[in-house]
Amino acid sequence: MSRTLNAIYDLKTIELPVAGMDCAECTRHVEHALAGVPGVASVQVLLASEKAIVQLDPAAVSLDQLRAAVAAAGYQAAPPPTATPALQPVHYTRKVWTVLALVFGAVLFVVVVGEWLGLSETITARIPFLVGAALVVISGWPIFANVIRAARKRQVISHTLMTIGVLAALAVGQWATAAVVVFFMRVGDYVEGFTAEGARKAVRTLTALAPQQARVVRNGVETEIPVTDVAPGEIVVVRPGEQIPVDGVVVDGRATVDQAAITGESLPVETGPGAHVFAATLIRLGSLRVQTTRTGVDTTFGRVIALVEAAEANRAEVQRFADKFSAYFLPVVLTLAALTLLIRRDPLAVTAVLVVACSCAIALATPIAVLAAIGRAAREGLLIKGGKYIETLARADVLLIDKTGTLTLGRPRIEEIMAFGGVATTEVLRLAAAAERYSEHPLAAAVRAHAAASGLTLVAPTHFEALPGQGVIAEVEGQRITVGSQRLVTTPAPPLNAEQMAGRSVIWVTRDNAVIGALLAADSLRPEAAAALAQVRALGIDTIEVLTGDNAATAARFAGQLGIPYRAGLLPEDKIAVVQAYQQQGKVVVMVGDGVNDAPALAQADVGVAMGAAGSDIALEAAHVTLMRDDWLLVPMLLQLARRTMGVVKMNLWFTAIYNLAGLSLAALGLLPPILAAAAQSIPDLLILGNSARLLGRARD
């Protein structure tokens, strides 16, 4: 009988902070180092979060062993938070090396210009070769050290080929060429680190918002404690200007709460007893007493951070191709260099071939662009679970939409009031709202809201009785009032035509058993939905359908307003069947739902998008993308960002391929001198990094 690894070992998952990672290659280097430690089951290294998520057998491996493995790879496993200042000298040292390389590089630009003007030999002849070689080694030592460590582990990294080019240049006495290579390697690392740092800000900004302290009521006394010590069920007191430290339910008080940290919505919301509130949201006015339901990483805010951190672990297929290409590129270049030596017998041409090869550019083409896109999306309230979903979204050609709570607001409102027997419509509304005063039914809330919007003053009923599935019976101002379905009507009701009934719920109102009116209620289309779907169509997605479990009349009413087809009366399994039918036709399906009853269809779709996922466990788990606020304009923004990202990736890959082909050809033919090859070899890296960094600046074209 086979057993899973979890059954054999009592596996534990830990997070290990790692300092010093500046590039996508760094994450792979750390991943290989940690994966080689006996007792480690799996490793994910996250560049944006600067940490490794390690699943291990605690009986077989210690934290010190993991830190030693990271150190052997050339990086630093950060100690516990109390010792964080010890990391500062490491970052200071890196800055010193970078400044040294940049200053040295300024001189080397003069050398390159000298080559173009035919003065290179005159300039370099004034500096002894040993001095020049020493400067090359000193400026490039951090890179060379990483290459040496990788070689000891039989690993090839992006700087391996460039280091071979440096050695080749030194071997033929071209120290200036070697220096130019080192300079551009350092500049490339610096720019890549800068781009990665821009993507990291999304995670750091989110993490910085997490509250650290909470004021809890224990034994009748308010006490401030670390938020990690708050237990579910405890009462937390939050005052004006303070962050709510936990997820919970308001038990007392009223307040205006800024929920931008969770939903991205700039307008605050009014909150009172019974309302759900989220950690990291801010009280602007008022105060609350909140009963804790979730704390720390289990809160909505904690799960949001975890999603953003882990997103880069799901690599796109195009990124996997780039990784494989980089691994095979080195032997191809070495073979071409050997053929150049055999055919041309020219060491300088061989050196130029080795120097101009740019394996780093292919490796950078996808991960930096994806990382930048995920960071930008997070700032817009779009949580994308990985690069592979960005790639899939860019190819989407079918959009399926749930109705209730997704396309519509999910709450009914009164659209029309009909009065009979000479009674005024305002009187029908006033009596109905008074009778519904204590009802918790959504339709009752719609009646009260409409009365309040109409400025009516309501009296309290002297008698109230709720009949499940029927409505309410109440005594208002000495009159027997019923509000509800036709089952409560004991006398003949006036007929309503099909046009009046289409897609609406009828709330009958009687007074002393006589029908005096009817309230017609319906859900409301989200106001931005039409504009958002027009933008989706403009992106070339013509197949758009509404899938709903509601009746055909209601579905037709809303789908007709948007001019899109619908399928009504569907069960969850029916929605899955629709998704599968499109997928069998070779279509890439995006499903947008509310993340609760649509969870199966969201999971089946190529990309499931959950709207308004704040506080919803199912939404955050089932969907591949979560929208943290109910805003349909985020959907075309998501599709635009995905297409833009993949456009950047493809541009990066094509440019790198063409550039490498041209550079290698010119070098092999002896038309590209080594020093110019050195200057040319890092141009793709810088252009790719700059091109990818554009994604950080905007989410739509």
Q: Averaged over 80-108, what is the pLDDT?
A: 43
One-letter amino acid at 279 equals A
Q: Averaged over 523-549, what is the pLDDT?
A: 90
- Name the phi and psi angles at 596, rounded to 5: -110, -80
Domain ranges of the chain: 5-78, 231-294, 383-408+526-631, 410-525
- Name the phi and psi angles at 672, rounded to 5: -125, 105
Q: Residue 248 pairs with which residues in a beta bridge?
A: 277, 292
**Active-site annotation holder among 189, 402, 631, 685:** 402
Which of the two residues, 420 and 443, has the higher pLDDT score?
420
Q: Two tokens at 97?
A: 């090396």
What is the CATH code for 5-78? Answer: 3.30.70.100
Tens of pLDDT, residues 617-650: 555 666 788 887 888 999 999 999 999 998 988 8
pLDDT at 511: 94
5-78 and 410-525 have identical folds: no
The C-alpha atoms of residue 195 and residue 351 are separated, in whole angstroms, by 31
Tens of pLDDT, residues 174-217: 787 788 778 777 766 665 565 555 555 555 555 666 788 899 99
The C-alpha atoms of residue 490 and residue 465 are separated, in whole angstroms, by 17
Q: Two tokens at 310?
A: 């882990």
Confirm whether 598 is a catalytic residue: no
Q: Two tokens at 375?
A: 């960071």
Does residue 64 carry a pLDDT above 60? Answer: yes
Which of the two residues, 486 and 410, has the higher pLDDT score?
486
Specify which of 120-134, 174-188, 278-292, 353-367 reaches the highest per-range mean pLDDT: 278-292
3-state secondary structure 332-352: HHHHHHHHHHHHHCCHHHHHH
Confidence of residue 6 (pLDDT cuts 50, 70, 90): very low
CATH architecture of the domain with range 383-408+526-631: 3-Layer(aba) Sandwich (3.40)
CA distances from 16 to 27, 56, 146, 155 (A): 13, 12, 20, 22
Which of the two residues, 28 and 32, has the higher pLDDT score?
32
Q: Where are the alpha helices (DSSP H) in 345-441?
A: 347-356, 359-365, 367-379, 387-394, 425-435
Q: Averaged over 123-138, what is the pLDDT?
A: 79
Q: What share of the chain is helix, strand, coil (3-state, %, to 5)?
A: 50, 20, 25
Tens of pLDDT, residues 288-313: 999 999 887 778 777 766 665 655 55
Of 592, 170, 272, 235, the residue nearest 404 (C-alpha): 592
Q: Where are the alpha helices (DSSP H) in 399-509?
A: 425-435, 442-453, 498-501
CB 280 within 8 A of CB 262: yes
Domain 410-525 maps to which CATH number in 3.40.718.10, 2.70.98.10, 3.40.1110.10, 2.60.98.20?
3.40.1110.10
The C-alpha atoms of residue 354 and residue 166 are separated, in whole angstroms, by 8
Q: Assess if CATH 3.40.47.10 describes domain 231-294.
A: no
pLDDT at 695: 80
Q: Averaged over 535-562, what is the pLDDT?
A: 87
Q: What is the mean pLDDT of the chain?
A: 78
pLDDT at 337: 87
